[in-house]
Amino acid sequence: MTRFAYAALFAAVLATPGLAQDFAEGSNANSWGLFGEEKARFTAQVVDVICELSGDCPADCGGGDRQLALLRDADQALVLPLKNGQPVFSGAAADLLPYCNKAVEVDGLLVGDPDDTPVKFYQVQLIRETGAEEWAKANLFTRAWAEEFPDAAAEKGPWFRKDPRVSALIGERGYLGLGLEVDEAFIEDWFAE
Amino acid sequence: MRRILIATAAAGMLSAGLALPGAAAEGRTVTVTGETVDTWCYFSGVMGGPDVVTGSAHHTCALWCAAGGIPVGLLADDGTMYMVLKLGEESDAAGGDGFLLVASHELTAQGTLYERDGINYIIVSEVLVDDGITNLTHEEYGVIPGFAIPEPKEE
């Protein structure tokens, strides 16, 4: 490999989100003990990913029907949040939507094992519009879910046990997704003893 | 076995990183065969390594994560991950029913690929083949997480 090629590779690594820069300064994010976890607080613009990539840009960032991302000010990297700050199974779209196309500051975790992935993804724990004093916790998913499924929300238990769509699919295909007969045999063995 | 290959990673860095940050990517039509996966559990390690959070062992959790709006990925047979931004006619890419219906399934999908900052994004125009769940990881790992299946109540 020529010197130029090595230089190009080094430049590429530096341009890759989460690898070259340290965004931990000033972060108050909680550690979750995740793969390659790094605290990261930075300013960015909230963008609709499809819009950013393809130019298909509804005014409201899709109104909750699209994945949203953070176009980081420091390096213009498109940082993709996979998770909000709630304990389990909830994405970040509901938390980012109120800030569609706005400048924000976020605090959270960059995650991803560098042996497995060249990039890091984001878990947003706190968000505020640039210039605002108060941080908002990124915990809006369950509220949005309860508005969509009010009858299920009124029942006892965590949302994921009550989601009518999930319950219907498990009722039809089983917990393993392989049919009720396979499920029955597995469950008998799984809970034996 | 870790399924995201280092070579793929390096190629991703080169293909994405050498582009000017912030520059709009150009899409190209691709056909991808792979398993739909829950990307948070896959990349974060919150429930263990990548192999235990795929297939039938992780199916219920994949349903929960899809319902929760966590981005769904298409993990190709060569280990490349494609983040699915749209799936055919399904209008809701952040928790829509269409993503739940194919959770953990092996799909062959055609769509437009965009590469940006080391991440592959795909806007799927059509699912050409749906083979259902073919990765029978429950045979090796049981269910992940263990609480996915509630303990049967004694009668």
Q: What confidence tens digit (pLDDT) does each residue in A55-65 have?
A: 999 989 999 99
The per-residue pLDDT for B151 is 87
Residue of B nearest to A20 (CA): B17
- Record the tokens describing residue A111, joined without a space: 């995650």
Percentage of chain B exceeding pLDDT 70: 83
Residues ≥6 apart with Cβ < 8 Å to A168: none
Q: Once rounded to an integer, what is the mean pLDDT over residues B99-110? A: 98
Cα separation, A30 vs B130, in Å, equals: 40
- State chain A's mean pLDDT as an integer: 91
Best of B86, B119, B124 to disrupt the A interface (most A CBs within 10 Å) is B119
Is the pLDDT score of A51 beyond 90? yes
- State chain B's mean pLDDT as an integer: 86
The per-residue pLDDT for B129 is 98
Contact list in B for residue A1 (CB cut-off 8 A) is none
Best of B87, B149, B153 to disrupt the A interface (most A CBs within 10 Å) is B149
φ and ψ at residue A44, rounded to 5 degrees? -165, 175
Partner residue facing A94 (CB), from B16, B69, B116: B69
The per-residue pLDDT for A16 is 52
User: Given CB atoms, is A149 within the 8 Å cutoff of chain B?
Assistant: no
User: Given CB atoms, is B63 within the 8 Å cutoff of chain A?
Assistant: yes
Nearest CA among A27, A38, A36 for reference residue A109: A38
Residue of B nearest to A9 (CA): B14
φ and ψ at residue B114, rounded to 5 degrees? -125, 135
Q: Once rounded to an integer, what is the mean pLDDT over residues A85-91? A: 96
The per-residue pLDDT for B26 is 78
User: Given CB atoms, is A167 within the 8 Å cutoff of chain B?
Assistant: no
Residue of A nearest to B131 (CA): A178
The per-residue pLDDT for A89 is 97
Is the pLDDT score of A131 beyond 60? yes
For residue B45, give the amino acid letter. G
Q: For the segment B57-84, what is each residue's pLDDT rounded down to a tens digit? A: 999 999 999 999 999 999 999 999 999 9
Task: Tell whether ipTM is more than 0.85.
Answer: yes
Cα separation, A69 vs A93, in Å, equals: 8
Partner residue facing B14 (CB), from A9, A111, A115: A9
The per-residue pLDDT for B153 is 79
